[in-house]
Each structure stands twice: as C-alpha cells, then as structure tokens.
Amino acid sequence: MKKSLYWILGAVVLVAVLLIGYALGSGGKDKQEPPAPNPTTVSSAAPAAPSTQAKEVTPVEPSGTEGAFLYGPGKTIASSDDITNVHRRMANDPFAEGDIDAPVVISEFSDFECPYCAKYANDAYKQILSEYVNKGLVRVEWNDMAINGPNAVKAAEAGRAAAAQGKFHEFHNALYTASKDVPGHPENDIEDFVRFAEEAGVPDIDRFRSEVENGTYTQAVTSATKYGASIGINGTPSFIIGDQYVSGAQPFEAFKEVIDAQLK
C-alpha cells in the first residue's frame, strides 16, 4: 500500500509538471515521509496526455542571467514535450558539476534548509559523483528551491555569494556536511554561512558577508523558486534525470536504475 501511495504521489506531481502557475500556493515543503527503499517515486517527466497533442502551456523562457544570478531552463519550455529543456548545459554555470556534454543531465531542485536534501547530499549524491559525474557520464545542475522559510532563502543567497567567487560546490558540501546530524531544519544564520564559506575557501569573506546581508541575490533566489514551481516542483529534493522525474532522498540504487536506463 505504501509503495502504491508513493507511486501515485509521484504521478500527481508529474501531471502538474508545466501545468501549474508561478504561485507557490500553500508552499511546498521538504519531504517529511521516510525515503522509500525502492525507486517507487520514479516516473516519466512527460506523461502521456489524453490527446495525441502535447499540452501547450504558458512558455517558460531562459532567464538570460549569468553567473551567480543564473536561474531557469536552458531553452524555452512551451509544452510537456519540452521537459528536457530544463537542463541548461551552459558553459561557466557555477551551479553545475560535470562535463557540459555528458550524456545525461540531472537537474536538481533543492533547499539548503531541507533535511532530506542533506540526506541526499551526504549519501546518494556522493555516489553519483564518483560513479557517474567523475567519469564524464552525468552532469548535475543545481536549482534553488527555497521553500522552507526565510532561513532557506538566506541560505540560497549565501550559496550564490559563494558561487560568485567560484566556490558554490565547496560551500554546498560544507553546509550539508554540517547539517548531516542535525534533527529537522538546521536554521543556519549569517555566522554559520560565514563559517561554511571559510571552510569552502571563499577568498573574500568580507564580500561574501556583504552580499548575503545586503540581499544581493534575493531576487535571483525568488525567481529560481518561482521557476521550479512553474514546472510542477512542489517538494524537495526533486530531480529531473534526462526525461525522468525522481522525488525525494531516494537511495543510490534508485538513482542508478534511472541513470543507467537514460544512458542506454
């Protein structure tokens, strides 16, 4: 019964892909249920529509932003057939890890305040890096989905401030490592962010602190989160792997099954 529930929840999310508006509504939260032992929340990111025609929606355009302000898809998303356009494949994307021409791209939608995102980052993600990213088979592209309150927004801004100095991934690792054994939401503040930035090797800490405190990236984080909502993402962590949707902090074996299928 539980497996069926997970499958249905995954399918409901996918039907919503590209069909809901930018409004966050009641505000999706991180996944509160324990991750399923099997990849039961894996399903097609472009499910069959009742008709033979692709469902037309309000187009989602690339943001035209660059560097630490970057968000949005790689190409215009105008229908459910365009779901793979979420993958940016942009040179100098500070939020991407892996070869730009890797056969498979994983677009990740995560929140630095989300405990299930921390679980994924400390478990399955590390194995994805070693087994696929480091071998040139997979590219991972981060998308801010700051849905867990003001601390989540500030954490995403801090991630962008680190990205501005070429240290996003190091900051990401430092923050999630510190969150590994924290029950619930870590509720990090500016002093925590500065500590993570120092651990990450961010060269100009004064600049980092100033950009976080002054809201340099607030609009970029807000726009990124609205973008995620507009394509049906309403919980974290969520992933689009090639053209497949995966929800939650699934075990590595669930990701492996989907990635291997996409590589064929």
- The per-residue pLDDT for range 41-69, each reduced to its tens digit, is 333 343 333 333 445 556 899 998 999 99
Q: Quick one: which of 67, 74, 63, 98 has its CA closest to 223?
A: 63
- CATH 3.40.30.10 fits domain 2-149+224-263: yes
Q: Which pTM value belongs to this model?
A: 0.81
User: What are the extents of the domains in the chain?
Assistant: 2-149+224-263
Token pair 């105008």 in the structure block, residue? 78
- The per-residue pLDDT for range 171-189, each reduced to its tens digit, is 999 999 999 989 899 999 9
Alpha carbon distance 119, 179 (integer Å): 9
Alpha carbon distance 250, 248 (integer Å): 6
